[in-house]
Amino acid sequence: MSGAEELLIEAGRLAAELDAVDPPTLLDVRWRLVGPPGRDDYTAAHLPGAVFVDLDTALCGPPGPAGRHPLPDPAALQAALRAAGVRAGHPVVVYDGGDGMSAARAWWTLRWAGHRPVRLLHGGLPAWLSAGLPTSTDAPTPAEGDVLVRPGALPVLDAPAAAELAAGDGVLLDVRAAPRYRGEHEPVDPVAGHVPGAVNLPAAEYVSDGRFPAAEALRDRFVVTGVIAGAPVGAYCGSGVAAAQAVLALHLAGRPDAALYVGSWSNWVADPDRPVATGSTPGG
């Protein structure tokens, strides 16, 4: 299997797998930063057999100084995944409303938790609908899963490690929109700007409508930012959701060592003593 085949699944292939005797566990993780909760969308219509899992309460810890979407408590995560029917070693497919961000954070969280066989529906629900495939309003009650959460299977950054990466020989990618990076506009967090030394690569430059370009195109795009073989790389955003999508893109580009700064900017600015850069260059 290629890396893309292991990490992404197209709608037609997923439909065939769902018709199998023992289909993958299907998780609906639709989410919005603001607006109606994803569960409302799930109730209205979802992929047949999908179980809803809430990003905010099941896949992340409670917001606080660690960030708006910190790492979940391993025991709580294990309970939530088991309730959703996730079984040890059994394939999981995650999908969202189409931008791929919450699905990527779900993919990352399961991988971080030691559950490797997880893929993202490429293009999310819109791709499924575009293929003419059916939806359902029936909410299944899955059999209890037996997944074991073993945290630490993917690398993470805390604030000191992120600062060290940005100031050293590696690359820390800030994947927020350019005005937020430059410190001109900050709609969510109390301080505007970026981690000193971080390089801006807005998510729109490597993913479009929840779909990724080919691995070679991704590699070329990341090289422009300084991501080269042998040099460490990490990513952050506002709260670790869009940055998880960047980590997925880096995996597709052949960098499975890419680290996620889970707390991201919401954690960085929780400490007023941490430096903040503004402007269009890494150093401000």
Question: Token digits for 204?
Answer: 């729109």
**Token couple for 147:** 């997944």
Tokens 């769902």 locate to 18
Catalytic residue among 9, 27, 94, 237: 237
- The rounded distance, in Å, linking the Cα atoms of 193 and 177 is 11
Q: What is the DSSP letter of 76?
A: H
* DSSP per position, 81-142: HHHTT--TT--EEEE-SSS-HHHHHHHHHHHHTT---EEEETTHHHHHHHTT---B-----P
Angle between helices 101-112 and 242-252 (to 10 degrees): 70
In 196-241, which residue ranges form alpha helices assigned H by DSSP?
Answer: 215-224
237 given a catalytic annotation: yes
How many C-alpha atoms does 147 have within 13 Å on its Cβ side? Answer: 32
- Active site (catalytic) residues: 237
